[in-house]
């Protein structure tokens, strides 16, 4: 999935998120974000969209201070409209930029394309948070979820400065296998990789992953969207939609340290 596709899917996610919360009680707690209610979730997502938009619009070469940006809907402004407006402005800015433009990013890819991909998956996960808070089952396009799993694994090595537990994703060669059971990413050339499979290896100084099928210390099978939500700790591996084989403690070790 490339920059243009990320922008298209992000536009759809912004619209879906705004629609989801348009008539919702924003005091409803968000169980997957302890301590937050829907109002706090919307404020966070809207603030992040505005921060990312400013980063890309100014072609920032260092992290910008978002303290001067709106961090919540102003009095009298409908929260869903505020969320939609910030998200649409972000999409427009992303569509106007060369994806290869060098721009600061907290992740491993220091180009504009980082932001279309990151903001897509940030919005997917937080829309899922809102759906779960409202008692609904989140629906995520399998192709988006497959890319989201890749994106998470690509960027975890760079996340230590704000998610310190990720620096503990180390080991002595232990392996974790993830298997999405419900389709493939059509943008991937046939035969280039096993569809929807990841082999993670914990090494003394880092972790590595490949798209591969094989025997691991622990394996998890589920639909791509459910795997994405598991990796973001939005669902528990105890949920019956997951098949877990092997050393469950190894999976728990990973999940306890990989949350962004």
What's the pLDDT at 71? 83
Q: Which tokens sit at 46?
A: 């809207």
In this structure, the answer to whether residues 69 and 84 fall within a common structural domain is yes
* 116 shares a domain with 64: yes
Same domain, 126 and 158: no
Looking at 124, 139, 154, the residue that finishes a domain is: 139
Q: What is the pLDDT of residue 192?
A: 44
In a shared domain, residues 97 and 196 = no
Task: Tell me which of 139, 159, 175 is where a domain ends.
Answer: 139
**96 shares its domain with 194:** no
Which residue segment(s) compose the domain that 102 sits in? 3-139
Same domain? For 222 and 153 the reply is: yes
Dihedral in degrees, nearest 10, Cα atoms 239, 121, 210, 103? -160
What is the CATH classification number for the domain harbouring 226? 3.30.1050.10
Note the pTM of the prediction, 2 decimals. 0.93
| Six token digits for residue 195 | 């569809």
pLDDT confidence of residue 152 = 97
pLDDT of the chain, 260 residues: tens digit per residue: 899 999 999 999 999 999 999 999 999 999 999 999 999 999 999 999 999 999 999 999 999 998 888 888 889 899 999 999 999 999 999 999 999 999 999 999 999 999 999 999 999 999 999 999 999 999 999 999 999 999 999 999 999 989 999 999 999 999 999 999 985 544 444 444 566 999 999 999 999 999 999 999 999 999 999 999 999 999 999 999 999 999 999 999 999 999 88
Per the CB < 8 A criterion, the answer to whether 230 and 221 are in contact is no
Boundary residue ending a domain (139, 158, 192): 139
Return the pLDDT at 182. 86
Number of domains in the chain: 2
Q: What is the pLDDT of residue 109?
A: 96
What CA–CA distance (Å, rounded) separates 195 from 149?
A: 12
Structure tokens at 110: 């220091």
Residues 79 and 195 in one domain: no
Same domain (yes/no): 201, 241: yes
Per-residue model confidence (pLDDT) at position 80? 97
Residues 126 and 12 in one domain: yes
What angle is formed at CA 59 by the lines to CA 57 and CA 62, rounded to 5 degrees? 120
User: In this structure, are 196 and 222 located in the same domain?
Assistant: yes
CATH number at residue 52: 1.20.120.450
pLDDT at residue number 177: 97
Instruction: Let me know whether 176 and 60 are in one domain.
Output: no
Exposed, middle or buried by CB within 10 Å (0-12, 13-18, 19+), for 17? Answer: buried
CA angle 84, 125, 145 (to 5 degrees): 110
Q: What is the CA radius of gyration of the chain?
A: 18
The angle formed by the CA atoms of residues 146, 184 and 180, to the nearest 5 degrees, is: 60
Contacts for 27-34 with beta carbons within 8 Å, 24 or more apart?
A: 28/133, 28/134, 29/133, 30/129, 30/130, 30/132, 30/133, 31/132, 31/133, 32/128, 32/129, 32/132, 32/133, 32/233, 32/234, 33/129
The answer to whether the beta carbons of residues 10 and 95 sit under 8 Å apart is: no
């Amino acid at each position: 999935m490339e920059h243009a596709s990320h922008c298209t899917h992000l536009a759809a996610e912004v619209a879906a998120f705004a629609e989801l919360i348009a008539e919702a009680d924003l005091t409803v707690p968000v169980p997957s974000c302890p301590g937050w209610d829907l109002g706090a979730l919307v404020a966070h997502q809207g603030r992040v969209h505005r921060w990312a938009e400013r980063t890309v619009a100014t072609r920032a070469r260092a992290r910008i201070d978002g303290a001067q940006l709106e961090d919540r809907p102003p009095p009298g402004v409908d929260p869903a409209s505020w969320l939609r407006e910030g998200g649409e402005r972000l999409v427009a800015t992303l569509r106007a930029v060369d994806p290869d433009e060098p721009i600061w990013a907290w992740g491993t890819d220091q180009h504009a394309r980082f932001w279309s991909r990151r903001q897509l998956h940030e919005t997917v996960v937080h829309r899922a948070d809102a759906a779960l808070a409202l008692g609904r089952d989140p629906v995520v396009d399998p192709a988006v979820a497959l890319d989201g799993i890749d994106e998470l694994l690509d960027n975890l090595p760079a996340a230590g400065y704000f998610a310190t537990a990720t620096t503990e994703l180390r080991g002595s060669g232990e392996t974790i296998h993830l298997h999405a059971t419900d389709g493939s990413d059509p943008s991937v050339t046939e035969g280039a990789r096993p569809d929807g499979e990841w082999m993670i290896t914990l090494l003394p100084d880092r972790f590595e992953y490949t798209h591969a099928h094989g025997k691991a210390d622990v394996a998890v099978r589920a639909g791509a969207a459910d795997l994405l939500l598991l990796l973001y700790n939005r669902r528990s591996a105890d949920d019956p939609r997951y098949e877990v084989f092997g050393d469950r403690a190894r999976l728990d070790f990973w999940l306890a340290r990989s949350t962004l």
